[in-house]
Structure 1
Amino acid sequence: MYELAPEPTSEQFARIAQAITPEAQVISTRELVGGISCRMDVITFEAEGSTRESVVRQYPPWHANENPHPGIV
């Protein structure tokens, strides 16, 4: 079985949310199951007066060796 990517830190989740919307404040995070070989998390954050969610897909360490261009299909 392949090793999954490690759980992102609170700071990493905050940076991801702020990359989407600079004023974003993370409310919660939760792991999704069923990502096959990738770690999947949901970030719930508040920005611009509304609550939003985004899915974060994190490729495992071994993926970089097999595909030097992750995210390009």
Structure 2
Amino acid sequence: MMDSIAADIRWFFPFADLRVNLVHVQAVYKPWYQNFLLHWTFALEVLLWLLAGHFALHDLRARRTIGAEAA
């Protein structure tokens, strides 16, 4: 899903060759990957990864607590 924000994804392939993206990242920096690292969409992706990690860690700790209480 995150690639749909700044990369061309063919969600309807093979039925249609339509490329879907919400934001076009301009080629401003060299090397090419800095354009993605310095774009606001990369910060959004990092934020989503951090939130997912937070919730996964919270769930893991909750399961350990429940398992320790049952023993």
* TM-score, normalising length: structure 2: 0.21
Name the structure, 1 or 2, with higher relative contact order (CA <8 Å, separation 6+).
1
Hey, which of these two has a bigger chunk of helix by percent? 2
Larger radius of gyration: 2
Normalised TM-score (structure 1): 0.20
